Amino acid sequence: MNPLRQLAELGQSLWVDNLQRSYITKGTLKKFIEEDGLKGLTSNPTIFQKAVSGSEDYQDLFDAAKGKGLSGNDLYEQLAVRDVQGAADILKPVYEATKGQDGYASLEVSPRLALDTKATLEEARRLWKTLARPNVMIKVPGTLPGLPAFEQLTAEGINVNVTLLFSQERYKEIAEAYVSGLEKFAASGGDVSRVASVASFFISRIDAIVDKEIEKKVKAGATPEQQKALEGLSGKVAIANAKLAYRTFKQVFSGARWEALAKKGAKVQRVLWASTSTKSPKLRDVLYVEELIGKDTVNTMPPATIDAFRDHGKVRASLEEDLPAAEATMRQLETAGISMKTVTDQLATDGIRLFEESFDQLLSAVGEKLAKT
């Protein structure tokens, strides 16, 4: 059996971390759904930037925009909205078959608004209204200003994919904000059964930055014993961090408070594993899929990781295996003088910056093509 399809048997949904026009026009997305059991899709500025720069798929929009005085931002939004709506329409049967659990396509608010609660709220509401599909999610960054925006959007019945989560502490704040938002929505007479959300918890970037810190400490003159301890942490921290975040997920979505919402049909906010392609050649290319399989989770994989897992992925219920070892890994990291808070704070800052840079490159690519049309 296709290993990708086996993930569903253990409660995990496969989404693809990619979107381009050809996915819709050439049947690529439909093929993923039919052959691999794909259940959703995520996008971001980097993905759209590559799609616009690397193909002629959007030439019809550029031709139609000629002479109309549209800005690069206007045209980007047109193409992004069209692609996400098209993906959502193809995924609609999945949405209906899973009673709203899956079948979502995501569109991100501008990365430039990541530190502005009010502007994030306004743009998220506008995009939700513009997309006009029940099976879309608006991506909102899990920054400190993004947190109240997310809670308010949930209280308004808007589906949100909270992105750029790295720390267990921020994840817990987001999960609790979802519960609070649903309670407010229910109190206002809203139907909580139609609200869905995921919390996008990033994986590979954590190991990438921790490995750099390990390398620095080894070069700075670590003793052979310290070097062995440091190198023993390589490739382990991201998975340990994710396993402990999932433990928090199970705590938040249990007990009397959650059960009161569940009785009204509320869905848990699933943890979505993002950035699941391995960055180090020393690691198995499907490591971040194989080690994070569990109930009520999503793994959004880039196409290359989907291909790799289809070919040689091994499926087991791995997410709750050996939590004491995960705790020990996090303790050893701190003992080695590497602060997880410093790591995750830096990753959150870098994540916003990288998406801003991709967004600027995207708008530049759109502007250049528009000028040449």
From 248, 228, 236, select the one nearest 336 (Cα to Cα).
228
Q: What is the DSSP string of 52-85?
A: HHT-STTHHHHHHHTTTT--HHHHHHHHHHHHHH
| Contacts with 70 (C-beta within 8 Å, 6 or more apart), sequence order | 78, 370
C-alpha to C-alpha distances, 116 to 74, 144, 281, nearest whole angstrom: 21, 9, 38
139 catalytic? Reply is yes
In the three-class reduction of DSSP (H, G, I as helix; E, B as strand; rest coil), residue 291 is classed as coil
| Contacts with 44 (C-beta within 8 Å, 6 or more apart), sequence order | 108, 139, 163, 355, 358
From 11, 14, 9, 79, select the one nearest 289 (Cα to Cα).
14
The one catalytic residue among 68, 129, 139, 263: 139
Distance CA 100, CA 104 (A): 9
Neighbours of 357 (CB within 10 A): 14
Find out whether 39 and 102 touch, Cβ atoms under 8 Å. yes
Distance CA 40, CA 303 (A): 13
User: How far is C-alpha 234 from the chain's CA centre?
Assistant: 23
Indicate which residues carry an active-site annotation.
Answer: 139
